[in-house]
Structure 1
Amino acid sequence: MNKDCGIPLSELQVDGGMTNNKILMQLQADILCIQVESEYRYARWKKAVMKSMGWEISEPQANGIDK
């Protein structure tokens, strides 16, 4: 990937179900010789999503169609 993009990558950002497999994540980090980032950012993202739930309330428009 470094060769293809021309920019050296310093970390691998991952998400999804496979990130629960710590052995797989460590194996990828070891093979690539870079850090694998996901757990901290994913936890922050989940927290932000939970905080945003219900913040928008539908208000009827003049034409009667809700947003």
Structure 2
Amino acid sequence: MDGIKKILGIVWILLGIAAAWFGITVLGLPKLSSGKQDDLVFGIIIMFILTPIITGGLLIFGKYALQGEFSEENA
């Protein structure tokens, strides 16, 4: 079971990297450069609030899973 948790730790880290890329390139930058005020507000919220929270959470969760923090013997 600990092996599966470590593999899923890698998956969470990869998802965190993918979420950062998606949040910046697909949702953030195009909205910031569109010129509309509604898009600007949405782009700022995505780029500076949601993307760091989502990415940081996934990366930290993956790091802890790789370190074995969720193993049965630590309970």
TM-score by length of 1: 0.39
TM-score by length of 2: 0.36
**Higher Rg:** 1
